[in-house]
Chains A and B, each alone.
Chain A
Amino acid sequence: MSSSAGSGHQPSQSRAIPTRTVPISDAAQLPHDYCTTPGGTLFSTTPGGTRIIYDRKFLLDRRNSPMAQTPPCHLPNIPGVTSPGTLIEDSKVEVNNLNNLNNHDRKHAIGDDAQFEMDI
């Protein structure tokens, strides 16, 4: 690229934005400083900030990762949702519980203390 005007000042040169193509066959090969969408679009920073898009297949693949198996911390105890519980109608659970005192200890061990306070 040269200036045909030939004057003393140099016009700014236009240049392609440097890019590199990284063939990726597995999520583990992705560079850490990219927002990644294997199988989809690879976005880095966009004007509105960083957009992260994951396609369906990638999301499903991550289901088996070790990190995905770890129970979330600070999950509240909601019987029938985050803990076993015959649930969800409290009155039935309580009546049931009173009629099955033999089960009390076992249930107490796995369940929510508060839920069984009424038995005491």
Chain B
Amino acid sequence: MATASPAGEAKGGIRKWEKEKREEEEEEEEAAVGAWAGEEAASSPWALRAPRKKAQDEDPVEVKLELHPLRNRWALWFFKNDRSRAWQDNLHLVTKFDTVEDFWAMYSHIQLASKLSSGCDYALFKDGIEPMWEDPRNKRGGRWLVSLAKQQRHSELDRLWLETLLCLIGESFEEHSREVCGAVVNIRTKGDKIAVWTREAENQAGVLHIGRVYKERLGLSTKTVIGYQAHADTATKSNSLAKNKFVV
């Protein structure tokens, strides 16, 4: 996906949205929609809302189905490596979403992971959990880590990251989904990494279930082994030396 044009549209979209919100305060909703009739309205959120409202009287089932709520609200973070600034100052909240459709809207309007510069990260976490070890819901936890070879950035990275996102928002780990805190993709010259973070490294049943399902969803061969490391261990050692608490 090229960023240039969707991102350009995004900006226009925001402006329209803001303008329409102001109008909403003053006028009837339908009048506001009327003001945006025509070519521009086709891509405006209100253009979709108007027919929906109308249709509601006729077919309430179909109308409400246009948005599919997620179990959790999620926050997407972007981290940019700038050594002149503190780590936390490099962390930017991109957006939050809580429906399937809003997830795709977000995904379609941001850069693909493989196109980010080295040193950057994306992180998707449940709303309220910060994408760092220090967060109370992360500090006793750990991560399933998938390390990629350099050449996999072009062939695999975006697919694996999207699959990771779908596992999270779709709550793919049955009752253990509540153990999941989020996921991170690190773009690094020496090899990219994707990890799913869970909240309790000692919860063996939960961690192993998540690991098995995750590995299968990524389509990794049975020969490939992925490891789970407790954040407490990772924090005290350099990443490559952190020992695996579990493997699948």
A residues in contact (CB < 8 Å) with B: 27-28, 30-32, 35-36, 50-56, 58-60, 62-63, 65-78, 80-84, 87-90, 110
B65 and A52 contacting across the interface, CB-CB below 8 Å: no
Contact across chains for B17 and A36 when beta carbons are under 8 A apart? no
* B3–A84 touching, CB < 8 Å: yes
Write out the residue numbers on chain B whose beta carbons fall within 8 Å of the beta carbon of A63.
104, 108
B147 interface contact, C-beta 8 A: no
Q: Is the CB of B117 within 8 A of A87?
A: yes
Closest to B2 in A: A84
> Closest Cβ of chain A: how far from B113's Cβ, in Å?
10
Q: A32-B61, A59-B169 are known contacts. Are A72 and B106 too (CB-CB below 8 A)?
A: yes
Contacts A52-B70, A78-B94, A89-B117 given; does A73 touch B78 at CB 8 Å: no
Residues of B within 8 A of A77 (CB): 11
Question: Which chain A residues lie closer than 8 Å to B242 at the CB level?
Answer: none
Contact assessment for B101 and A72 in the assembled complex, using a CB-CB cutoff below 8 Å: no
**Interface: B66 (CB within 8 A):** yes
State whether A88 and B117 are in contact (beta carbons under 8 Å apart), knowing that A32-B61, A59-B170, A83-B10 are contacts in the complex: yes
The total of Cβ contacts below 8 Å across the A-B interface reads 154
Q: Does A53 contact B43, Cβ atoms closer than 8 Å?
A: no
> Which residues does B use to contact A, with CB under 8 Å?
3-4, 6-14, 17-18, 43-45, 48, 60-71, 78, 80, 82, 92-95, 97, 99-106, 108-111, 116-117, 120, 163, 166, 169-172, 177, 217
Q: Is the CB of A88 within 8 A of B67?
A: no
Nearest 6 CB-CB pairings of A with B: A68-B104, A71-B13, A67-B101, A88-B117, A71-B10, A54-B170
Please, could you name 13 A-B residue pairs with CB atoms under 8 Å apart, sorted by A? A32-B63, A54-B169, A59-B103, A60-B166, A65-B66, A65-B104, A69-B104, A70-B48, A72-B102, A74-B17, A75-B14, A84-B3, A88-B116
Q: Which A residues are CB-close (under 8 A) to B7?
A: 82-84
A59-B166 contact given A68-B108, A71-B6, CB 8 Å threshold: yes
The smallest C-beta distance from A37 to any residue of chain B, in angstroms, reads 8
Q: Identify whether the interface residues of A are mostly helix, strand, loop, or mixed.
A: loop
A76 / chain B contacts, CB cutoff of 8 Å: 92-95
B111 engages A81 (CB within 8 Å): yes
In the complex, how many angstroms separate the beta carbon of A69 from the nearest chain B beta carbon? 7
Distance in angstroms between the alpha carbons of A76 and B169 in the assembled complex: 22
Cβ of B166 and Cβ of A72 under 8 Å apart?
Answer: no
Question: B109 — nearest CB in chain A belongs to which residue?
Answer: A71
Kindly provide the distance from the CB of B176 to the nearest chain A CB, expressed in whole angstroms.
12
Contacting pair A54 B171 (CB below 8 A): yes
Given known pairs A52-B71, A53-B170, the reply for A80 and B94 (CB within 8 Å) is: no
Instruction: Find B9's partner among A36, A66, A71 (CB 8 Å cutoff).
Output: A71
Please determine whether B120 and A83 come into contact, CB atoms closer than 8 angstroms. Answer: no
Bound-state CA distance A105–B61 (Å) is 49
In the assembly, what is the distance between CA of A6 and CA of B171, in Å? 51
Name the residue in A55, A60, A68 with the highest tally of chain B Cβ atoms < 10 Å from its Cβ.
A68
When distances are taken between beta carbons in the complex, the residues of chain B under 8 Å from A67 are 48, 66-67, 99, 101-102, 105
